[in-house]
Amino acid sequence: VRFRTSRGGMLDISAPAAAVLVGHRQLTPDALEAGGMLLGRHIKGTSDFVVDEATLPIMKDRRSRFSFFRIKKPAQNRVTEAWFESHGSCNYLGEWHTHPEDDPSPSGTDEGNWKRIVTKTRSEHTSLFFLIVGRTRIRVWEFERGTSAPAELTELA
């Protein structure tokens, strides 16, 4: 799966990451929201990013049909681990979560959370990606630090 950013760069979702996202779609009435982090790389000398890994929800995350809160500490350890394993190339790129709707759009809570994460996260990138997995469609927004609202990416066929 591949998206184009507002600045003309690409965001590529690797096959293993896409499998995690698609595998957590809320297809049944009792399926809970799921989510995790997007880990990956900026391709040097380009505006392109690759999501290598979508981390799995963990037991301690608070999940319901209509909400998902990721607990922070183990997640931070996972980012550090990925960074070391990849000799510094694999970084935190953003967050993903599911919605129980076909074509997802961010809730007010989502936008508030994203803004808080963008403001608080120390990252070498000026923006982070926020992905929502709907039942039939995946959408991605890029939130640039210092801006007031996220910009949606365009999915490429």
Q: Are 136 and 103 in contact (CB under 8 A)?
A: yes
Nearest distance in Å: CB 131, Zn ion: 11
Residue nearest to Zn ion (CB): 110
Q: Which is nearer to Zn ion, 12 or 110 (CB)?
A: 110
Q: Are 61 and 72 in contact (CB under 8 A)?
A: no
Instruction: Enumerate residues 6+ apart whose C-beta is below 8 A from 78.
Output: 37, 39, 55
The residues carrying an active-site annotation are 33
Q: Which is nearer to Zn ion, 54 or 82 (CB)?
A: 54
Residue of the chain from 53, 61, 95, 110 that contacts Zn ion (CB under 5 A): 110
Q: Which is nearer to Zn ion, 17 or 131 (CB)?
A: 131
Nearest distance in Å: CB 35, Zn ion: 8
Q: The dihedral of CA 4, 10, 11, 14: what is its sign? A: positive
Residue span binding Zn ion (CB under 5 A) among the ranges 58-66, 73-81, 109-117, 135-143 = 109-117
Q: Distances in Å between the alpha carbon of 85 and those of 11, 88, 138?
A: 22, 8, 28
Q: Rounded distance, CA 10 to CA 49, Å?
A: 6
Residue span binding Zn ion (CB under 5 A) among the ranges 39-47, 50-58, 79-87, 102-110 = 102-110
**Cα angle 113-1-156, degrees, rounded to a multiple of 5:** 95
Residue span binding Zn ion (CB under 5 A) among the ranges 12-20, 70-78, 83-91, 107-115 = 107-115
Q: Which residues bind Zn ion (CB under 5 A)?
A: 107, 110
